[in-house]
């Protein structure tokens, strides 16, 4: 974990090194001042030597200014180091997430990833800055002050050793108990963020069903869980302050009493008033340093859970990688499923079993099946969004695992069941398919997808701004824009995952006709619930519970496949849903 996190300090290691050096310089200047003060009292004030007072006073001013400069530089360098480190962590996490396969992403919730990139990184940033500054300053100050105190009077300074041992024991009892609560609290942050994200993204549904009170209560429970865990941690941490303060005041009383006694007994010779002043100053330095150390341990304890969570994302490696000498060109759009089995890693159950299919390049293939019959899972194997559990999937006669991932995915365009548009203009969204597409390319793709008719009605045309998530266009318009975006890739394989469900039947027919005329060499997979969407396909795959129930032309299936017949009859008679048969899928 530490090795993973240390790598992200690159670019900020110099300022990370300069920060503790400046802290050491500041501490040294601070430790010199009490000895100079003792000299002023003993050799200046007591002896009535005014020139000595001016001279040593000048040294004190110089030491204070130099210490101030070191302190300011330490603060500047520490801030640059910690903020730069946080930036590197966020960039590294974001880059790594972009490489994740769907199987990797399935391990984390969206809210969990957001928490890691915000709250957790902020905790690490604060801990890193404190470690660079206080983690060096506090121990150095304590060690130097202890050394100076022992050089004045070893017997009196031994009080500090007892205090240090006592406080170290107290910290050792507090920290382990606090750690478990902070770890649990940060896990609950995921639930809190998930509640907010779900509510905001589905706000229309929440308002339509008048569930604001329910969502508010759910958020209150999530925030209450975080509060309860942090409260338990804070109750334990709160013991830290009274223990520290009690120890500090006890040390001051003991040193004042014993020191004054030694001055009186020695006649201000072996132990002087200036020495006592120095001892009291060093007492405050030592015990204040101990308080800082305790704060550091609390901060590190809080951030340790965050460190593990961030390192977990950084160490996660995609299970989809290029092999040695990957194939850099897809010859054609033919597809072969050879004894394919597939299951998601989360539950381990197979959702596809014994799939054997061959589709020629340029064919249009319909896929129908009930909800949960693994239609989407089947087509996600083509661009290698997941790897098969058994068997092989071949595109262009080559196993997809042998292709360069970028090459393969550039040859397979997929319009997902859930259509996504990004904030920006229509043209910017379309150019996700091909960043170098010309304006004419955009118009041609939109004509094929029947999107040009509504785009041209917008006052700004292709420069019309799309809100985040495409909330200012209808579901059918969004689907057609996504189809146009996919067509701009000029793919060898085009997958439409129920992506015309929100358009009317006439527009659906126009889109299918445009595919047949404009991209005859592209293999098209159409996942649909409507028989009309697949009745002109070259072949239709009927899936039932992850197995191929039928494969053939629509006419062949109508004559021989019971599932296809049932759906065809139900829809042509005017009722119309694939799942109407009521079977468990």
Q: What is the pLDDT tens value at each position of the chain, 585 positions in all?
A: 778 888 888 888 999 999 989 988 888 888 888 778 878 887 777 777 888 888 888 998 999 999 899 989 998 999 999 999 999 999 999 998 888 877 777 777 777 788 888 888 988 998 888 888 887 888 888 888 888 888 888 888 888 788 878 877 887 787 777 777 877 777 777 777 777 777 777 787 888 888 888 888 888 888 888 888 888 888 887 787 788 778 878 888 888 888 888 888 777 667 777 778 878 887 777 777 777 777 777 777 778 778 888 998 888 887 788 878 889 999 999 999 999 999 887 666 888 999 999 999 999 999 998 888 888 889 989 998 888 989 999 999 999 999 998 899 889 988 877 778 888 899 999 998 888 889 899 999 898 888 888 898 888 888 999 887 777 888 888 888 988 998 888 889 999 888 777 677 777 788 878 887 778 888 999 988 888 888 888 999 999 888 999 999 989 998 988 888 888 888 776 544 545 443 333
Which residue in the block uniquely carries the two structure tokens 């107290």?
A: 170
How would you class 498 by CB atoms within 10 Å of its CB: exposed for 0-12, middle for 13-18, buried for 19 or more? buried
Do the Cβ atoms of 510 and 450 come closer than 8 Å?
yes
Nearest CA to 110 out of 219, 194, 186 is that of 194
Chain length of the chain: 585
Tokens of 83: 């903020």
**How many C-beta atoms lie closer than 10 Å to residue 475's C-beta?**
12
Report pLDDT for 373: 86
- What was the pLDDT predicted at 574? 54
Backbone φ and ψ of 583, nearest 5°: -75, 150
- Determine how many CB atoms are found less than 10 A away from the CB of residue 122: 14
pLDDT at 502: 67
| Sign of the four-CA dihedral 240, 243, 246, 248 | negative
Q: What is the distance between the alpha carbons of residues 577 and 581, in angstroms, rounded to a whole number? A: 8
**Hey, what domains does the chain have and what are their CATH numbers?**
2-315 (1.20.1560.10), 338-576 (3.40.50.300)
pLDDT at 581: 43
| 358 vs 38: CA distance, rounded Å | 93
How far, in Å, CA of 472 to CA of 476, rounded? 12
Are 335 and 358 a contacting pair, CB within 8 Å? yes
User: For residue 346, how many C-alpha atoms fall within 13 Å in the half-sphere facing its CB?
Assistant: 10
pLDDT score recorded for residue 367: 92
Distance CA 182, CA 223 (A): 14
CA distance 326 to 264: 88
> How far is residue 537's CA from residue 67's CA, in Å, rounded to a whole number?
81
Separation CA 429–CA 470 (nearest Å) = 10
């Amino acid at each position: 974990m530490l090795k993973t996190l240390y790598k992200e300090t690159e670019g900020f290691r110099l300022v990370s090194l300069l920060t503790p050096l400046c802290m050491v310089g500041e501490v040294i200047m601070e430790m010199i001042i009490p000895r100079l003060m003792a000299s002023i009292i003993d050799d200046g004030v007591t002896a009535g030597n005014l020139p000595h007072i001016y001279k040593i006073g000048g040294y004190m001013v110089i030491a204070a200014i130099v210490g101030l400069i070191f302190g300011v530089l330490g603060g500047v360098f520490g801030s640059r180091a910690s903020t730069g480190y946080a930036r590197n962590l966020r960039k590294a996490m974001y880059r790594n997430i972009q490489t994740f396969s769907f199987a990797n992403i399935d391990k984390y919730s969206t809210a969990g990833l957001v928490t890691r990139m915000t709250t957790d990184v902020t905790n690490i940033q604060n801990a890193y800055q404190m470690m660079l500054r206080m983690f060096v300053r506090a121990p150095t100050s304590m060690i130097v002050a202890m050394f100076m105190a022992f050089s004045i009077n070893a017997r009196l300074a031994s009080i500090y050793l007892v205090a240090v041992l006592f406080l170290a024991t107290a910290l050792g009892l507090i920290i382990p108990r606090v750690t478990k609560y902070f770890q649990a609290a940060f896990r609950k942050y995921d639930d809190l963020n998930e509640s907010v994200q779900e509510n905001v993204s589905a706000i229309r549904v929440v308002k339509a069903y008048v569930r604001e009170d329910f969502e508010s209560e759910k958020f209150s429970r999530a925030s209450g869980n975080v509060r309860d865990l942090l409260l338990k941690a804070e109750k334990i941490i709160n013991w830290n302050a009274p223990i520290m303060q009690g120890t500090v005041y006890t040390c001051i009383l003991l040193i004042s009493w014993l020191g004054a006694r030694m001055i009186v007994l020695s006649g201000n010779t072996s132990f002087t008033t200036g020495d006592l002043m120095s001892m009291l100053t060093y007492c405050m330095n030592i015990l204040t340093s101990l308080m800082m150390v305790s704060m550091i341990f609390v901060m590190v304890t809080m951030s340790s859970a965050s460190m593990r969570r961030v390192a977990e994302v950084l160490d996660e490696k995609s299970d989809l990688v290029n092999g040695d000498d990957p194939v850099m060109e897809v010859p054609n759009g033919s597809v072969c499923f050879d004894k394919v089995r597939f299951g998601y890693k989360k539950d381990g159950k197979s959702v596809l079993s014994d799939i054997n299919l061959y589709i020629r390049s340029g064919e249009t293939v319909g896929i129908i099946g009930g909800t949960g019959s693994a239609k989407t899972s089947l087509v996600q194997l083509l661009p290698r969004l997941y790897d098969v559990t058994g068997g092989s999937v071949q595109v262009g006669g080559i196993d997809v695992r042998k292709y360069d991932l970028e090459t393969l995915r550039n040859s397979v365009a997929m319009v997902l069941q859930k259509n996504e548009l990004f904030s920006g203009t229509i043209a910017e969204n379309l150019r996700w398919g091909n960043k170098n597409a010309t304006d004419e390319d955009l118009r041609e793709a939109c004509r094929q997808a029947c999107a040009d008719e509504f785009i041209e009605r917008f006052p700004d045309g292709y420069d019309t701004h799309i809100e985040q998530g495409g909330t200012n266009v209808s579901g059918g318009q969004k689907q057609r824009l996504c189809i146009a975006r996919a067509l701009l890739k000029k793919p060898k394989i085009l997958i439409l995952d129920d992506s015309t469900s929100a358009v009317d039947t006439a527009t659906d027919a126009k889109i299918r006709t445009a595919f047949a005329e404009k991209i005859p060499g592209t293999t098209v997979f159409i996942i649909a619930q409507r028989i009309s969407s697949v009745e002109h396909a070259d072949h239709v795959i009927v899936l039932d519970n992850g197995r191929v129930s039928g494969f053939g032309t629509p006419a062949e299936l109508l004559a021989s496949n019971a599932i296809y017949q049932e759906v065809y009859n139900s829809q042509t008679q005017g009722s119309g849903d694939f799942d109407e048969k009521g079977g468990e899928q």
